[in-house]
Every structure is written in C-alpha cells, then in structure tokens.
Amino acid sequence: MDRVLSGIQPSGPLHLGNLIGALSNWIRLQDKYECYFFVADLHALTTGYGNPYQIKEYTVDLLMNFIAAGLNPEKSTIFIQSQIPEHSELHVFLSMITPLGWLERVPTYKEKKEQIKDKDLDTYGFLGYPVLQTADIIIYRAKYVPVGVDQIPHLELSREIARRFNYLYENEFFPEPEALLTDFPKVPGTDGRKMSKSYGNAIYLSDNQTIVTEKISTMVTDPARKRRTDKGDPAKCPVFDLHKIFSTEDEKKEITIGCTTASIGCIDCKKILIKHVIETLRPIWEKRQELINNPSLLIDIAHEGSKKAKKVAGETLKEMKEVIGWIF
C-alpha cells in the first residue's frame, strides 16, 4: 500500500469547512492507503508562539475531532507532531541545505506576513515553515499528501528539498512527495464568504444543536429575496451551496423550484439544511462526549500513534545519518 500523510495546524477549533474539505477525504483514504495523520502543533507555533497554552488546548481538541469524525486508529497512524522529536531533528538537517531564496519565494510566506498584522512574523521559524513541513512528509517517505490547492507551493518546495538532498548525498534516498488533490465543494460560512475562523462565519464541530440552528437561521441568503413573496435564485444563495453538500437530490430539486417561484420561504428552506447538518454532526458530538468522559481513551490513542510513528521516523533519521556519515 502506498503511504499517505497529512496534517492540520491546531490554530483554532475545527469547523464544517475543515470537515468537508480535509477530514472527510482523509477518512475515505484510510481504506486505500497506509495513512499517517497528525496535529501539526509545531506549525501552529510559527504564528501562535505568543500563546502556546492556547495551541495546546486546540491540539487536544483537534485530536478529539480527528477521532470523533471517523479517523480510525486501527487503520491509520494518528499522532501529535511534537511528540515525535525526529521531525524537528530532520528539520535542522534540511534547513542546512535549503537556500533562503527558495523560502522567500513561497507565495504564502509573503501573503500571510501581509495579512497577519497583529503578530511579528519576521522570524526564523515562520520562514522555515515549509522546511518543517518537508521533514514531516519525507521522514515517513510518504508518496501522497492530500492537501488543498493553497498548499501546492509548499509541496513543490518539499519536492525540491528532497531532490537537493538526493543530489548532495544519495540518489533516491527521499522519494519526492506528490500532492493528492481532491475536488471538494466550496463551503461558505454564514456570511457567504469562504468559511474561515478568521472571518467569524464558521460553524464549529464543537457547536451544539442550538448554536448550529441559530447560525444557519441567521445565515445570509439570495439578497434579492427580501420578502417571503420575492422570488430567489439558489445559484446566488450560500445556503443552497450547503444544500448541495448535505441535502438529497429530491430536496435540492424541490428547493430550486420553491425558491424560484417563491413557494417556499427561506425559513423552511433553512430548516431542511439544519436537519441535515445536525444529522451529520450528531454522531461527532456523541463521540466527542464519549472522549471527554473518558480522557484515557484519547491518551491511549495518542500514545499508540506516537509509538508507531516514532518507529518509522526513527529508522529514516538513522538511515539519513548513515548516508551523510553522521554516526558517532
């Protein structure tokens, strides 16, 4: 089986967009590949170093969501990045051979530095973000990395760093990882923009039934439908984008007809969506509660995952040191 690896930064609570975009895809991959999934807590530190305690809380919450959403520790290796210090050690070695210019050219580097103004990102660690990410991937010699399109430049850089190592020390030592792109539907937030924690428009996996109902009930709709008697266009309505993800074909047809003829109101249309979103989240909520009630379950899962990951990572690191003659 080919090896797949991916991680998510614990930089905030997980929302519906992350679930549809990343996690559901990972869950499907579990049966086809040998999977490694982890919480990238060190990566969250590159921007969140001012509040490490918060990152720790998000880390536990993210791990809980991994399991609650359906990642299966019997199938996949699930762990917390910083529990495997081998990532950090490989990162040091890779940082020696990575030209500064490659890092400065990464588009997300400049973009994020411009976007995030409340933190000083003129740091060594933030520039080195993709080097650490490369270490994460190649320490397991992962073949595929399921990521969103925004991560393509990072992955391209990982390939270049792997290639450079191979060129300098040993041919084909590190395989060049490939992105595993999956088309996923766009997930709008309650204000119609892309769902994101920084926009304050997200529905979180940790929200309860009342909050979910409230958030969807007040969600923006087609602006042309101000009154119940106004006709609408689902193509212009973010609520309908969510129906595309959660509702049945029949419901979507019914809503399209109802909306364009004003025979269904937005409140009833949203009720159908609320029902589906809650149906999707309910098993996750139940599993979360189970994990909260039994903290040792999560500890055991993290412990087992670390053990499995550490074995593979340790072997690669040892071989890498042999290759560069770094044995004392």
**Residue 7, contacted partner among ligand SF4, ligand TRP, none, CB below 5-8 A by kind:** ligand TRP
Q: Among ligand SF4, ligand TRP, none, what binds residue 20 when CB lies within 5 to 8 Å by partner kind? A: none
Q: Are 33 and 26 in contact (CB under 8 A)?
A: no
Cα distance from N-terminal residue to C-terminal residue, the chain: 35
Q: Is 136 in the site for ligand TRP (CB under 6 A)?
A: yes
Neighbours of 272 (CB within 10 A): 19
**Closest approach of ligand TRP to the CB of residue 201, in Å:** 19
Catalytic site includes residue 310:
no
Give me the residue label for tokens 């399109």.
Answer: 149
Q: How far apart are CA 19 and CA 25, in angstroms?
A: 8
Cα–Cα–Cα angle for 227, 264, 234, nearest 5°?
80
Q: If phi over 0 gives left and psi between -120 and 50 gives alpha, with beta otherwise, what is residue 19?
A: alpha
Residues in 141-160 at the binding interface with ligand TRP, rule: CB under 6 A: 145, 147, 151
> Contact region for ligand SF4 (CB under 6 A) — 42-50, 124-132, 218-226, 308-316?
218-226
- Interface with ligand TRP (CB under 6 A), residue from 3, 4, 9, 68: 9
231 assigned to active site: no
Place of tokens 């044995």: 327
> Contact region for ligand SF4 (CB under 6 A) — 31-39, 78-86, 108-116, 237-245?
237-245
Report whether 148 contacts 187 (CB < 8 A).
Answer: no
Task: Report the interface residues with ligand SF4, using CB under 6 A.
Answer: 221-222, 225, 232, 234, 237, 239-240, 255, 259, 264, 266, 269-270
* Residues making contact with ligand TRP (CB under 6 A): 5-9, 40, 43, 133, 136-137, 145, 147, 151
